[in-house]
Amino acid sequence: MAVAGREPFEQVVRRHGPTVLRVCRAVVGPDVAEDAWSETFLSALRAYPDLPAGSNVEAWLVTIAHRKALDQVRAAGRRATPTDKLPDRIGADDPERHTDLWSALGELPDKQRQSVAYHHLVGLPYEEVAVLLGGTAAAARRAAADGIKTLRRTYLPAGPDDRTDPR
């Protein structure tokens, strides 16, 4: 679908699809990210003809992806999850606490996780992160810094040759 003076939507999907998928994975995790990705581009396809000329298409798609991913999170919260046995709680000093980066990211508060993802994974400037999350660029910068600090403490292994950041 091509709109006069604008690149065809298929090229938009090819160009920005990986970024949108990273956003979806950061917000909802790898299991349902593809559903949020699909919902993002379905919604974008409908609105693309009305997008003002000169708009930042990537930021527009990231905004849609953010909202669609949050919809997925809300929907998952309303569904019951059957289980045979409740999992044991993992203690703070348990070495198996973080087996991968996703679980470490998943433990961050929402604003920190989303700020880290949008700025460090997607590459959005803090001003655009602030627009997505609400608040100021300074608050987005602080949330991302706090998230990275927590990830350094909880995700990176500590050991005798551990080099701590002097900041």
Domains of the chain: 7-79 (1.10.1740.10), 99-157 (1.10.10.10)
Q: Is 71 exposed, middle or buried (0-12, 13-18, 19+ CB in 10 A)?
A: middle
User: Looking at 40-49, 61-70, 149-158, which range is the least confident one?
Assistant: 149-158
Is 127 within 8 Å of 133 (Cβ atoms)? no
State the Cα–Cα distance between residues 99 and 101, nearest whole angstrom.
Answer: 7
User: Where do runs of H (alpha helix) occur along the chain?
Assistant: 9-28, 33-47, 57-78, 101-106, 110-116, 126-133, 137-154
Map tokens 């090229």 to a residue.
Answer: 11
pTM, to two decimals: 0.53
pLDDT at 83: 67
Which is more confidently placed, 124 or 139? Answer: 139
Give 146's pLDDT tier (boundaries 50, 70, 90).
very high
